[in-house]
Amino acid sequence: MTYNGIPSVNHPEKYGYMENTMRATLAKKAYDQIKFDIITCTYVPGQQIAQPQLVEKYDFGITPTREALHRLAQEGFLQPIPRFGYIVIPISIPDVIQIYELRAILEPAAAHIAAKVASQEGLEQLIKDADFSYIPGDKQSTIDFVKNNAKFHLSFAIATGNRRLVEAISKTLDEMARIFFMGLNFREMSQEVRDEHQAIAIAIYNRDPDKAEQISREEIAHSKERILDVLRNKWEKDFTMSQISW
């Protein structure tokens, strides 16, 4: 029996189910929000964060926040620190290189396969998905750009029909997002990236698997060099400033 949609206390099993569902929903919301703030570098790599501060900031409650932090730690975004809280996992140059090495294996293969098997509808959508850019210094524009970038790279992975390939590429793009936010804040590269994406899309659309694979590999190599150049300059500047402060 219910009153205004609320289960009666005469049915505790229903109440318990509803309570668990609400807690799971709050934990998911907490996870999504904290992850978003980590990826967009609201919490910068290496920053210390504590559960009580996040509970107060987001108002999701202690248990949902704890569950969200535990999940993010399992996924490699946070490092637990006993008796303190967490540290946002730093981004090192070896990390960047390894992620790009994995992308260079997965994405050119996906572009090659997509050029062979993608539907006509998928090909037309890919052309549309390749046409995007961003406004340097505009945070929302940068957020939209990173989302559109992931959508584009996933679109030709999805066109392969290989679920495992899609999942693998999706995970690497998730890790790439923080790196993009760090790099995009320091250098204008919008037109370069747009031109490269459109070249990949056109090669896939023309059903030229070898060219699509080659351009994808070149795009990843160029992206790697752009990002590494930005990060090296940033870290050298930060190191110099720390030396001056010392």
Among 147, 144, 233, smallest CA distance to 182 is for 233
For residues 35 and 102, membership in a common domain is answered with no
Residues 6+ apart with CB under 8 A from 24: none
Burial of 169 (0-12, 13-18, 19+ CB in 10 A): buried
Max CA distance (Å), the chain: 70
Whole-number Å distance between alpha carbons of 52 and 161 = 44
pLDDT at site 20: 56
The total of structural domains in the chain comes to 2
Burial 192-202, CB ≥16 within 10 A → b, else e: ebbebbbbbbb
For residues 40 and 150, membership in a common domain is answered with no
For residues 182 and 220, membership in a common domain is answered with yes
Range of the domain at 22: 2-88
For residues 166 and 240, membership in a common domain is answered with yes
pLDDT per position as a tens digit, 168-224? 999 899 888 888 887 665 556 778 889 999 999 999 999 999 999 999 999 999 989
Length of the chain (residues): 246
Q: Which of 26, 61, 88 is the last residue of a domain?
A: 88
Contact of 90 with 49, CB cutoff 8 Å: no
For residues 162 and 46, membership in a common domain is answered with no
pLDDT at residue 53 tops 60: yes
Residues 143, 148, 151: CA angle, nearest 5 degrees: 130
CATH number for the domain that contains residue 128: 1.20.120.530
Segment 12-22 mean pLDDT: 50
Residues 81, 170, 188: CA angle, nearest 5 degrees: 85
With tokens 């999706």, the residue in question is: 170
- Supply φ then ψ for residue 181, to 5 degrees: -65, -35
For residues 135 and 52, membership in a common domain is answered with no
Percent of the chain with pLDDT over 90: 56
Strand partners, 49: 86
pLDDT per position as a tens digit, 66-114? 999 999 999 889 999 988 899 999 888 898 999 999 999 999 999 999 9
